Amino acid sequence: MAERVITPEGEIKIETRDLSVYYGDFEAVKEVSIALPSRRITALIGPSGCGKSSFLRCLNRMNDVILGARSEGEVLLDGRSIHEADLDVAQLRRRVGMVFQSANPFPMSVYDNVAYGPRLHGKPGREALDETVERSLRAAALWDEVKDKLRQSALELSGGQQQRLCIARVLAVEPDVLLMDEPSSALDPTATFRIEELMVELAQQYTIVLVTHNMYQASRVSRYTGFFLLGELIEYGLTVDIFEHPQDRRTDDYVRGRFG
């Protein structure tokens, strides 16, 4: 068991210990212990329904929003538990941002979408806000395409642009971590490629946890990969190791495409 789940080198950003998630009586995530390294991309792969998304939603406590969901075990962000009694959940969610599977921009202008997060925390000055919006859109590799359309509705952008807008929106609150739940599954190959390029660039500054059912994507962009099956973390290690010489038979079967 010790070799199948390794501890990455360097600084650890998020660590879970025996984390389990229940929806009612159903145990979606079973006692997962994993250490996610800082400023790297960690990919979580596995067949659909195996608990990867449920696990991800624990890391920013979005599961709190779901009726009947409950979790056990510990989640540590920079060494501190995120379930502490006096912890401000809203603050947590700014530090640990999330990009969802299908792009969901607000029915507002491009500008207002990106400005939404910063405005939550009080009214920033006009200039400061303009700066933040431009910075975030540049970081999401979207600025050049929308700089003349800031006041237009975000719903008029293409699918790929909308997803990058959602990324910009998250970047505007200046998180440490980006949780990405199958961010390109609804996009065409060109748009997917651009998102992947963006991820690699963002990893220089942010810790990224990527859930994907696309193994090739995982092998392309991530440093570490974890394989989930039926709610359990089967194996976790360097991406090259997972794909080229997996320890567990089930991992081997999955990456060779024998099921899933």
Residues 150-169 binding another protein (CB under 8 A) are: 153, 155, 166, 169
Please give the structure tokens belonging to residue 158.
């293409």
Report the C-alpha gap between 94 and 38 in whole angstroms.
Answer: 17
Instruction: List phi, psi (to 5°) of 55.
Output: -65, -45
Choice from 17, 30, 39, 93 touching another protein (CB under 8 A): 93
Instruction: Work out whether 16 is an interface residue with another protein (CB under 8 A).
Output: no
Report the C-alpha gap between 214 and 195 in whole angstroms.
Answer: 14
Q: Closest distance between another protein and the C-beta of residue 119, in Å?
A: 8
CA-angle at 18, arms to 16 and 24, nearest 5°: 110
Per-residue binder mask for another protein (CB under 8 A), 117-146, x = binder:
x--x-x------------------------
Question: With contacts defined by CB under 8 A, how many residues of the chain interact with another protein?
Answer: 28
Residue 128 DSSP class: H
Choice from 16, 53, 54, 60 touching another protein (CB under 8 A): 60
Nearer Cβ to another protein (2/90) = 90
SS3 for 73? strand
Instruction: Work out whether 106 is an interface residue with another protein (CB under 8 A).
Output: yes
Instruction: Work out whether 107 is an interface residue with another protein (CB under 8 A).
Output: yes
Choice from 14, 98, 195, 209 touching another protein (CB under 8 A): 98
Assess contact for 28 and 66: CB atoms under 8 A: no
| Cα separations in angstroms, 222 against 36, 76, 95, 138, 256 | 12, 22, 21, 22, 18
Assess contact for 44 and 221: CB atoms under 8 A: no
Instruction: Work out whether 104 is an interface residue with another protein (CB under 8 A).
Output: yes
Nearer Cβ to another protein (28/173) = 173
Q: Which residues bind another protein (CB under 8 A)?
A: 60, 62, 65, 67, 88, 90-94, 97-98, 100, 102, 104-107, 116-117, 120, 122, 153, 155, 166, 169-170, 173
